Amino acid sequence: MGKVVFEDPIHHISGKISKKFRTIYNLRKASQNKFTSVHGDRVAPATAEELAQREKFKTVRQTALARSQNLSQIAADRAAFKAARAAGDKHTTLMGWLFAEEWKKL
């Protein structure tokens, strides 16, 4: 039996077509799989755990941003970041490293 390959009228599209369109078109380049996913509106309100996680993220982001703009501390942070990268740390950007450091504190 022959293999049937369905082709879309558009060769490739990735992402949303418009703001109100709920279907997302995707293409996995490694396997050439085309697929869609539908994103709907959330019906249930956020739980207390989710709200706490959002607040923690917001606090950590603000602290990391303030730390990155503190001129008296930035040289020490850059040196510590370079040392962590040399030791095999997974963070590739200074901001990502600062965020992770602040996240560990909370």
Distances (CA, A) of 94 to 50, 69, 77, 81, 83: 27, 12, 8, 6, 12
**pLDDT by position in tens, the chain (length 106):** 567 666 655 555 555 566 666 777 777 777 777 777 777 777 788 899 999 999 999 999 999 999 999 999 999 999 999 999 999 999 999 999 999 999 999 8
Closest CA to 25 of 38, 11, 15: 15
Residue type present at position 29: K
Judge whether 45 and 19 are in contact, CB under 8 Å. Answer: no
